[in-house]
């Protein structure tokens, strides 16, 4: 059975030592982490958030709330999760990646 992007991300995180996972996650933009966990279970989200500093976890939770009001396309999610997975696989520092997400428009009358 083929691994989903979520399966790949969370299996990678579980293979890393907690300190390594924390160090790598702390270098990734909050929005990218939140986007990459868009389709994750609450249990998986809490696992990731438990690995990082509480202030960053709080910002990521806020980002989840912001993203509920945005029209995030599946291809944007795939880009974010691929970026996060790629950065977690690297041992050195990676340049930050920033996403632009377009707010939802009200329905036209």
3-state secondary structure 13-31: HHHCCHHHHHHHHHCCCHH
Quick check: is 30 in a domain?
yes
Give the span between the Cα atoms of 51 and 57, in whole angstroms: 9
**What is the CB neighbour count within 10 angstroms for residue 105?**
7
Count of domains observed in the chain: 1
CATH number at residue 79: 1.10.220.30
pTM score:
0.79
CA dist., res. 40 & res. 7, Å (int): 9
Instruction: Quote the mean pLDDT of the chain.
Output: 86
- The answer to whether residue 101 is domain-embedded is no
Is there a domain that residue 99 lies in? no
Asked if residue 105 belongs to a domain, the reply is no
104 within some domain: no
Q: 3-state SS of the chain: helix, strand, coil percent to 5?
A: 60, 0, 40
**pLDDT tens, residue by residue, 42-90:** 999 999 999 999 999 999 999 998 988 888 899 999 999 999 999 999 8
Instruction: Please give the residue range of the domain that contains residue 68.
Output: 5-89
State the CB neighbour count (10 A cutoff) for residue 8.
16
């Amino acid at each position: 059975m083929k691994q989903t992007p979520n399966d790949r991300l969370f299996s990678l995180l579980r293979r890393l030592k907690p300190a390594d996972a924390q160090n790598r996650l702390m270098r990734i933009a909050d929005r990218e982490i939140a986007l990459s966990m868009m389709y994750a279970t609450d249990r998986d989200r809490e696992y990731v958030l438990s690995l990082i500093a509480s202030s960053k976890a709080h910002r990521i939770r806020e980002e989840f709330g912001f993203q509920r009001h945005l029209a995030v396309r599946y291809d944007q999610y795939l880009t974010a999760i691929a970026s996060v997975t790629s950065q977690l696989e690297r041992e050195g520092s990676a340049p930050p990646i920033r996403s632009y997400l377009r707010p939802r428009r009200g329905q036209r009358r």
